[in-house]
Structure 1
Amino acid sequence: MSVETTSLESMGRELGNAIAESPEYERFEEARQAVEDDDEAQEKIEEFEQLRQEFMMARQTGQASQDSMREVQRAQEQLHRLPVMSEYLEAKSELEGRLEAINMAISEPLSVDFGGEAGGCCQD
């Protein structure tokens, strides 16, 4: 492995560590853990996921209805109204914004969207 490659990998690890120590990431992790620890949130997540799965299966067989879609939407709205989930979604959005800014900073000197295309092959 060349010195340049080792240096780039080292910088990548440093970037990863810096992101993990950022206020946005720390807030996200705390909010994620709070959702995992909240029984009501977990119950609402399970309910939403079950309804969503049922709707997706019904849609594949042509059995989906507007009522079932509204039921899924209502379950999602109830889930998102929980304070713990609202905090999680806000923290997630902030982290995503920060990561997008980092992606743009990395991608700027390159001719490729680092986060979006660097791993892909032959994208137009």
Structure 2
Amino acid sequence: MSVESASIEDLGRELGERIAELPEYERFDEARTAVENDEAVQEKIDEFERLRQEFTAARQTDQATKTGLQKVQRAQQELHSMPAMAEYLAAQSALSDRLERINEAISEPLAVDFGGEAGGCCHD
């Protein structure tokens, strides 16, 4: 497909379709589905989120404790050590690395960080 015969939007769609065919994306998609369908993982996610929200609320009222933080950290460690979640996190990291390399390839001829800077005019 030449640039002359395709709009930039068409090229963007094609890039999206090609990304969806990458082994890293396929691994991520399978891992995400496994996490979504694993009741034990979903229960652990709910527990972690509940503890995190409780700790956040306690911090906002200056009632947070080291014990509360340790509970949140322990719940997160337990969640991340579950095989389905560990695979999900590894797949997510691999996909993120690949997308960063794609971002660099797009950004190089533009002299702009396509994924980071191109979308906004001002940064504080």
| TM-score, normalization by structure 2 | 0.93
Deviation at 1:23, TM superposition (A): 0.6
Q: Which stretch has the larger CA shift, 106-115 or 90-99?
A: 106-115
Letter in 2 for 1:113: D
Written as runs of structure 1 = structure 2, the 5 A alignment for 1:5-16 is: 7-16=7-16
Indicate the residue corresponding to 2:73 in structure 1: 73
- Gap regions ≥5 residues in structure 1: none
RMSD over equivalenced CA pairs, Å: 1.5
2:24 is aligned to 24
Displacement of 1:118 in angstroms is 1.3
**Which residue does 2:105 correspond to in 1?**
105
Residue by residue over 1:66-100, the C-alpha shift from the partner in whole angstroms, topping out at 9 and shown as x without a partner, is 11001000000000010000000000000000000
Give 1:112 deviation, angstroms: 1.4
| Equivalent residue number for residue 84 of structure 1 | 84
Letter in 2 for 1:71: K
The equivalent residue for 2:120 is: 120
How many angstroms does 1:111 deviate by?
2.3
After superposing the two structures, state which structure 1 stretch, 73-82 or 6-15, moved more: 6-15
- Percent identity reads 67
SS at match of 1:119: coil
Q: TM-score w.r.t. structure 1 length?
A: 0.93
